[in-house]
Amino acid sequence: MKRYHMKTSFTLPRPVPEGPWRWLVPVLLVLLFLLVLLWLPWQARQMESNERQEQLIADTLWVEQTLRFELARSEEALAALGADLAVDTPPPAALQARLAQMFKNGHELQRIIWYDANGQVKASRGLELPPEGLTQSSRDAAAMARSTRLGRYSEPYGARGLVHGLIDFHLPLYHAGKYMGSLVATYNLQTLLDENVPWWFAQDNALSLLDGDDHVVAQRAAGGPGRGVYTHKRALDLPGSQIVLATDSVKGAPKLLPNLLVGSVIVLALGLVISLVALWRHIARTIAAENALRQQMAFRTAMEDSLLTGLRARDLEGRVTYVNPAFCRMVGLPPEDLLGKMPPMPYWAPEAMTEYESRFRKVLSGQVTPQFETVFQRSDGVRVPVLVFEAPLVDANGRHTGWMSSILDITDRKRAEELNRQQQEKLETSARLATMGEISSMLAHELNQPLAAIASYTAGALNVLARADGDDGAPVDAGMLKRALEQANTQARRAGQIIRSVHEFVKKREPRRETVAIPNVVDGIRALVELQARQSYVSLSVDVPPDLPPVLADRVLIEQVLLNLTRNAIEAMQAIDPERRVLRITAHTGEQGEVAVSVIDNGHGIAPEVAERLFSPFFSTKAEGMGMGLSICRTAIEFHGGTLTHAANPGGGTVFTFTLQQAQTAPVA
Ligand code: ADP
């Protein structure tokens, strides 16, 4: 289960240092990785290219060997023929047959001429010799061959459409140290290439034979022209000639892109970069969120610390999961002594244990009282009156995980309330005493009447008895005696009622709600009101329907209100004509079912400036007035959930009306 803790135990990791440094190592590593990735295919391509080059060189060597071998074979045949011719001249037919055989052996052989020691042609076969004879280079080669006594090749030369395509081989003939003439074989270099280079090689490579000036003297390019990427040159190494075999592969450099490796490397690198960027942004967002959270935390902590309201969270089992500093101060305990605790809690006051326990049982069953007053016991034993508000604690997924309470210390409020109540009580008492002071003087005066009447009735009764006991012996007038005693009894009762009602009124007591019938209350004070009214020559008219619904009220308070209102009304009428001095008490049921009681006079009425301050304590327009009456009346009526209002009487004077809730509809206190 998730725990809520005090700020001290709830920390976030230290902020990550800002700046480019934290990215340096990963970025370098990624760059290195990318470099390696890119280098690998390049390296592979390089290797492939090297391999092809090496292959070409090997093939070129092989072709060169083939060509050399072919020419060497021809040279050998020629040398054999020359050796024979130097000794003896064969019959022409035999010679021709032998020459024909040589032509058959190698198609590149185009012509054979046999010169004698004087340079005269003794026999020939093959191509016609041009009229101008051998070329200059061929003659040079012949001279060189003769002087060195070794066979020698001429530079290539052209003939019959071929620019340079022919080459001569001069073989000097010696016999017994004597120059016997020479044999000259002419080869077609193109045919040499065509006949001796295998087709598969010609398919892949453009072959050419170059002379000393790099002129192409023969070439074969079955697979198209070479690309110039893989080339190799190799001298044929013919004595006297500088012919070079050049090969040029038709293959280009290996292409980079179609390479699967390169493709995957590019995809990989792209993926890497994209995920790196995504990671980068994600981290940036996380850092931003973390900073916002940190600020929020700081704000929340500051708020919690500055709160005067105590906060306490509990999980569903009632275990305390969080308290704020204000709560700790309230109960005088450190958070360690509260967190994780289950009831009974250390701040429960022993006298309220049952109340706590019954409330805790309700919490366990999943229902809390949203607001209640209770008492906590501080660690030093002092009782702290508190007002507790409870609300369900819901987590981010909307799950109910516990309860959060905010707790107000209402010690000061309670003290003020108590002080206020005492003050009010004192005021009420003094107001009652003041009223009583006035009343008692009137009471003394009024009680005089019944007491005097009782005295005279009893004196009369005594007289009757004395006369019967006297000398004249007259009988006792029983009827007269009874009447006198009855009158005395009535007067005594009336005096008693007056005294009782005053006693009831003045007695200091706690307000008590009961079902009260308004007609009853009015009857109860009627004697007192009449007493006051009669003194001021005011006539009293009471119009209270006997079937009024009962109200829930404190009877004595309502009596006091009525007495105050009637006294004010009587006093307001002191200055007007005695025949107009009428005090009316009426009552009716209002629209909302409330009972409204009105006290109506024909007095001087209430001026607007007086109306403004009418209900203020100690406001009075009378010389001997205390100004508490209306203030107390209003407090008393509002205490009952009713209202006290006043209005002008259309026929002159004032109407004071108070309302009270009916007994069955009144809210239960
Ligand atoms: P007190 O009667 O001691 O002056 P109250 O609070 O009862 O104190 O009344 C305050 C004032 O309200 C009175 O002084 C008077 O001026 C005015 N007042 C009260 N009742 C009436 C009334 N029925 N008619 C005219 N004025 C009234």
Give φ, ψ of 302 to 5 degrees: -60, -40
| CB 574 less than 6 A from any atom of ligand 1 | no
d(Cα 305, Cα 322) in Å, to the nearest integer? 13
Q: Are strands 582-589 and 539-543 parallel, antiparallel or unpaired?
A: parallel
For the domain with range 511-669, which CATH number is right: 3.20.20.80, 3.40.50.300, 3.30.200.20, 3.30.565.10?
A: 3.30.565.10
Nearest ligand 1 atom to alpha carbon 564: 7
Q: What is the pLDDT of residues 175-211, one digit of tens each?
A: 888 888 999 999 999 899 888 888 888 888 899 998 8
Q: What is the pLDDT of residues 609-655, one digit of tens each?
A: 999 999 987 788 988 777 778 888 888 898 888 999 999 999 899 99
| CB 610 less than 6 A from any atom of ligand 1 | yes
pLDDT band at 6 (very low <50, low <70, confident <90, very high): very low
Rg of the chain (C-alpha set): 71
| CB 622 less than 6 A from any atom of ligand 1 | yes
* CA torsion, ordered 338, 342, 348, 352, to nearest 10 deg: 160
pLDDT of 475 above 70: yes
Which one of 220-224, 236-240, 642-646 scores highest in mean pLDDT? 642-646
Residue nearest to atom 16 of ligand 1 (CA): 621
Edge-to-edge strands, sheet with 595-600:
539-543, 582-589, 595-600, 654-660, 644-648
Q: What is the mean pLDDT of the chain?
A: 85
CA 602 to ligand 1 center in whole angstroms: 14
Over the range 280-311, which residues count as b (16 or more CB within 10 Å of their CB) and which as e?
eeeeeeeeeeeeeeeeeeeeebeebeeeebbb
Q: CATH assignment of 310-409? A: 3.30.450.20
pLDDT of 665 above 70: no
Extents of the domains making up the chain: 49-256, 264-306, 310-409, 414-509, 511-669
| CB 598 less than 6 A from any atom of ligand 1 | no
pLDDT band at 669 (very low <50, low <70, confident <90, very high): very low
pTM, two decimal places? 0.43
| CB 627 less than 6 A from any atom of ligand 1 | yes
CA 621 to ligand 1 center in whole angstroms: 7
| CB 568 less than 6 A from any atom of ligand 1 | yes
pLDDT band at 295 (very low <50, low <70, confident <90, very high): very high
pLDDT of 159 above 80: no
For the domain with range 49-256, which CATH number is right: 3.30.450.20, 3.40.50.10440, 3.30.2020.30, 3.40.50.720?
A: 3.30.450.20
| CB 297 less than 6 A from any atom of ligand 1 | no
Q: What is the pLDDT of residues 318-339, one digit of tens each?
A: 899 999 999 999 999 999 999 9
| CB 620 less than 6 A from any atom of ligand 1 | yes
CA 517 to ligand 1 center in whole angstroms: 27
Contacts of 245 (CB under 8 A, 6+ apart): 60, 63, 64, 67, 207, 208, 209, 233, 234, 235, 236
Domains 310-409 and 511-669 share a fold: no
d(Cα 59, Cα 230) in Å, to the nearest integer? 12
pLDDT at residue 257 in the model: 57
Q: What is the pLDDT of residues 495-512, one digit of tens each?
A: 887 777 667 656 655 667
